[in-house]
Amino acid sequence: MTIDRDTIEKIARLARLTLNGTEIAMYQQQLSRVVEAFTELAKVKTDAVEPMVTPLTESGLLRTDRVEEFSRMDEVVAGAPAVVGRLFKVPPVV
């Protein structure tokens, strides 16, 4: 099965990834080969099988929804690429 170039470009847009021409060609070839190898899954009969999304059988642990003080906000903000005070700064996009 071959994934065409348009599909690769569409997937890259959905994934929010800017790819150059070399990357698009490479992923087109590699993903086609991977997906081709994975088509054998279609042979397994799965009528009425509930999809499994986690191995956990217990119901998830929940904690009280309570507001807590977090005193290290400056450190959190310091990790951003650009800030003004405690605000995240981004280039104008409109």
Binding site for other proteins (CB under 8 A): 3, 7-8, 10-19, 23, 27, 30-31, 33-35, 37-38, 40-42, 44, 46, 49-56, 58, 60-63, 72, 75-76, 78-82, 88, 90-94
CB of 61 vs other proteins, minimal distance in Å: 5
Q: Which of 40/69 has CB closer to other proteins?
A: 40
Categorise residue 70: left if φ over 0, alpha if ψ from -120 to 50, beta otherwise. beta
Q: What angle do CA 65, 69, 72 make, to 5 degrees?
A: 130
CB of 11 vs other proteins, minimal distance in Å: 5
**Cβ distance 77 to 83 under 8 Å?**
yes
CB of 37 vs other proteins, minimal distance in Å: 6
User: What is the largest distance, in Å, between two alpha-carbon atoms of the chain?
Assistant: 58
